[in-house]
Amino acid sequence: MKQKTVWLVFVLLCLNITMSRADEGKLEVWKAPEGVLLNDNFTVKVRRSGGTWKNLPSYLIKVDKVEGVRHVPLPSSMATFGFEGKVEVSVTYNKGEIRKACVRPASRGIETVVEGNTLTFTLDKPGNFSVEVNGDIFNNLHLFANPIETDVPDKKDKDVIWYGPGIHRPDSGEVFRIPSGKTVYVAGGAVMMGQLLMDSVENVRLLGRGIVDHTVKMGIRISNSKNIYVEGLFATQCATGGSEHVTIRNVKSISYYGWGDGMNIFASRHVLFDNVFCRNSDDCTTVYGTRLGFTGASSDIAMRHSVLWADVAHPIFIGIHGDTKNPEVLENLTYEDIDILDHKECQLNYQGCMAINAGDNNLIRNVRFENIRIENFRQGQLVNLRIFYNEKYCTAPGRGIEDVLFKDITYTGDHAEISIIEGYNEERKIKNIRFKNLKINGTVISDDMQGKPKWYHTGDMARIYVGPHVEGVVFER
């Protein structure tokens, strides 16, 4: 009997050790390489429920605060880790008292507990967050809680290029050129001091939890390539031009300089953005036709489960660039399950959280915005649909905008200026624009809504100006 008891205790002890190791394996943290700039505004820790706190390095990054016409880079913070299940996060603000705090996106409903200068909260699934203390959106903590890596390649594989923890520099110049048929792995704790370029290649995977250094503009670039998969990295920008069959998943883009677009599309097809984060010093995400040496239309583009924050210009911008002499069609564009945290643009000509501006004889059609949650941005418009001739960037107005659906769009705030839907002339119109369950501060805007005077246009109830050369705008419940 005594032997059975001892054996049972031994088995339970082994099980407990195994479970503890498995549980510990569901939390991934990485040390910062020596020499990388850190920001001591926050002390960040994470642990499995009831486990041991682990420190996260808080990297020094920059964000853009525009003052007048000047881009003013300001220091900010970024921390990253991986987990599965449930974790507790502790953030200590080292610069003073916490009077109030929040974790955004608001749609995640994360509750914080503040004690002194430390706030804590719990995460039950991965996500990309902004931790803000005392209402400061510049000196905030960008917290990237990644899913556990399940596709780590074998570093001994001849087709794998492996960058482990530490600082890495290109063999020559300022670019890491990635060849066809390779899997490039940038491990957590690795910092790349150069652009990651996929040019005229195919069948490439770029994976990991590493960082492209914040001084590297256009940190990730895909050009004239096909069958490209990028996952998990942090960089300033991630642009795709002249390419097809591209997936960009769980990539984070933060820029701070002029023309710092986040995730551009030029003349490309079949591109998916999934679970990306963009905080940018220009448009967060764009779809264009011919532009910057890339030629042809763009089609079948999707962005899902993502977070956008435009310190300047548009969160979502479509259509201004194309080939006037050989008119193009930009079509089959989908934006689903997206949180827009901010939009700040003083110029009326460049506003709109969701903006379609047709120029260069482009025809833009079959666009779907669904389940978009817009928080109280600083300055701009909800919607801007225009066929126009912007002489600074275009050589002709667009041909048209057709068949656009806005479904389950919510805006909570009081800073939105008047949105615009306006065509150009009788030959260049906007047609078939459908709003379904548009909710402004809790009120559903519909053609049959209660309280709307009969002589009002429905758009008036949402501060949306529907101008000339527009046909078929409807607002449904």
- Identify the pLDDT of residue 49: 85
- Identify the pLDDT of residue 69: 81
Return d(Cα 84, Cα 393) in angstroms, integer. Answer: 46
**Lowest mean per-residue pLDDT among 22-31, 45-54, 194-203, 224-233:** 22-31
Return d(Cα 163, Cα 118) in angstroms, integer. Answer: 35
- Mean pLDDT across the chain: 94
Return d(Cα 209, Cα 249) in angstroms, integer. Answer: 12
Return d(Cα 33, Cα 37) in angstroms, integer. Answer: 9
Return d(Cα 286, Cα 318) in angstroms, integer. Answer: 5
Mean pLDDT along residues 30-41:
97
CA-nearest of 407, 416, 406, 428 to 465 is 416
- Tell whether the model's pLDDT for residue 402 goes beyond 70: yes
pLDDT classification of 50: cutoffs 50, 70, 90: confident
- Tell whether the model's pLDDT for residue 22 goes beyond 90: no
- Tell whether the model's pLDDT for residue 13 goes beyond 90: no
Contact 92, 117 (CB under 8 A): yes
Question: What domains lie within the chain, and their CATH numbers?
Answer: 27-147 (2.60.350.10), 237-476 (2.160.20)
Mean pLDDT along residues 53-62:
98
Q: How far is CA 60 from the centre of its chain?
A: 19
- Identify the pLDDT of residue 172: 87
Mean pLDDT along residues 27-50:
96
The Cβ-side half-sphere exposure at 72, using a 13 Å CA radius, reads: 8
What pLDDT, in 10s, does the model give residues 245-300? 999 999 999 999 999 999 999 999 999 999 999 999 999 999 999 999 999 999 99
pLDDT classification of 25: cutoffs 50, 70, 90: very low
What pLDDT, in 10s, does the model give residues 236-258? 999 999 999 999 999 999 999 99
